[in-house]
Copies of this chain bind each other. A is one copy, B any other.
């Protein structure tokens, strides 16, 4: 047993922190820390800064342009970014699609897509969910039919985050409608191709990050299918498994807790003992969850059926909602005020640090739903590990 993070990482954390202090524009950080959805301008600008530093793909292998960090460094980097208030980057592209490309793609595919992604020149969107599939991905109905050198795709994708900024969309589609999970393939679609229609979905926080994507006889070259036909389910699952240690969103939770405390001190709410006790409870939760994440990282190679990803997802998402509620509460009479997205002047009264709190609180109702609802996670735990 070794229950401490190696102190050698302290220096790395310092390095990251020092760089962020210098490289991250203050106005950009302030906008992020208000916690509205990130604007495309901030996102583009920050991607370029990261790319110039060579830190755009923290978890990427060196051969594809990553910095060659181990996973502890990646985690530390992400945590520091969140705390400093860096804009969200293209998570779908960097964390989900790129690994599929470098693991299962051909050299040509890697050449085609990885460099522009890393350089911040191309943006990606993700198309997994469908209107009638919800948490039940096995019942996808978007079809891709081979037609000579092309596939013709028809169907609808939903909850596609930020796809309105995207140049490319990676999708799970049915290539063999008879098979269930095995008939699914992983394909790339040009977001500007004929037949692609994007309908914004405004969330209850009045923000726009979600979309519905209609694919109507959209054609893609046959070599825009990654890996083998009908094996896409396995690729998706493998990568989601790799990500499972991060399901609790510790960096985001930490940032949220930090802002909650700041806010509650600013408004004076922290002096209320009952309130402080609830903040303390959330903090205790977070500290256990953080360590469970470390356990999951360390045990990653273990290959047990211990459902740590599901546990982290459940508790991390519940915590995020709890912290959101506490922030709204800390705002007192300003908790229910709508501060419009993107507005910069003529804002309603109330502390500036709290302007995005309500929108975020609303939007985060989704965290217990997406990525396999918490109900589904509980069933996974019960079935897989407890064998119920």
Answer whether residue A349 sits at the interface, using C-beta atoms and an 8 A cutoff: no
Residues of B within 8 A of A273 (CB): 273-274
Answer whether residue A352 sits at the interface, using C-beta atoms and an 8 A cutoff: no
Sample (5) of A-B pairs whose CB atoms are under 8 Å apart:
A273-B273, A273-B274, A274-B274, A274-B277, A277-B277
- A257-278 vs B: 1/0 string, CB under 8 Å? 0000000000000000110010
CB distance from A279 to the nearest CB of B (A): 12
CB distance from A51 to the nearest CB of B (A): 50
- A268-293 vs B: 1/0 string, CB under 8 Å? 00000110010000000000000000
Q: How many A residues touch the partner, as a band?
A: under 10
How distant is the Cα of A274 from the Cα of B273 in the complex, in angstroms?
Answer: 7
How distant is the Cα of A277 from the Cα of B272 in the complex, in angstroms?
Answer: 12
Contacts from A to B (Cβ < 8 Å): 273-274, 277
Residues of B within 8 A of A274 (CB): 273-274, 277
How distant is the Cα of A214 from the Cα of B198 in the complex, in angstroms?
Answer: 72
CB distance from A217 to the nearest CB of B (A): 41
How distant is the Cα of A317 from the Cα of B277 in the complex, in angstroms?
Answer: 27
3 tightest A-B CB contacts, nearest first: A273-B273, A274-B277, A273-B274
When C-beta atoms are compared, the residue in chain B nearest to A274 turns out to be: B277
How distant is the Cα of A277 from the Cα of B273 in the complex, in angstroms?
Answer: 10
CB distance from A288 to the nearest CB of B (A): 20
Residues of B within 8 A of A277 (CB): 274, 277
When C-beta atoms are compared, the residue in chain B nearest to A272 turns out to be: B273
How distant is the Cα of A49 from the Cα of B273 in the complex, in angstroms?
Answer: 50
CB distance from A278 to the nearest CB of B (A): 10
When C-beta atoms are compared, the residue in chain B nearest to A277 turns out to be: B274
How distant is the Cα of A273 from the Cα of B273 in the complex, in angstroms?
Answer: 7
How distant is the Cα of A274 from the Cα of B274 in the complex, in angstroms?
Answer: 6
How distant is the Cα of A277 from the Cα of B277 in the complex, in angstroms?
Answer: 11
How distant is the Cα of A274 from the Cα of B279 in the complex, in angstroms?
Answer: 13
How distant is the Cα of A273 from the Cα of B276 in the complex, in angstroms?
Answer: 11
When C-beta atoms are compared, the residue in chain B nearest to A273 turns out to be: B273
How distant is the Cα of A104 from the Cα of B273 in the complex, in angstroms?
Answer: 59
How distant is the Cα of A273 from the Cα of B277 in the complex, in angstroms?
Answer: 10
How distant is the Cα of A133 from the Cα of B273 in the complex, in angstroms?
Answer: 48
CB distance from A54 to the nearest CB of B (A): 50
CB distance from A253 to the nearest CB of B (A): 23
How distant is the Cα of A191 from the Cα of B277 in the complex, in angstroms?
Answer: 55
How distant is the Cα of A70 from the Cα of B8 in the complex, in angstroms?
Answer: 79
CB distance from A80 to the nearest CB of B (A): 34
CB distance from A272 to the nearest CB of B (A): 10
CB distance from A246 to the nearest CB of B (A): 33
How distant is the Cα of A219 from the Cα of B277 in the complex, in angstroms?
Answer: 63
How distant is the Cα of A29 from the Cα of B87 in the complex, in angstroms?
Answer: 68
CB distance from A117 to the nearest CB of B (A): 47
CB distance from A329 to the nearest CB of B (A): 15
CB distance from A274 to the nearest CB of B (A): 5
How distant is the Cα of A293 from the Cα of B147 in the complex, in angstroms?
Answer: 69
How distant is the Cα of A312 from the Cα of B274 in the complex, in angstroms?
Answer: 28
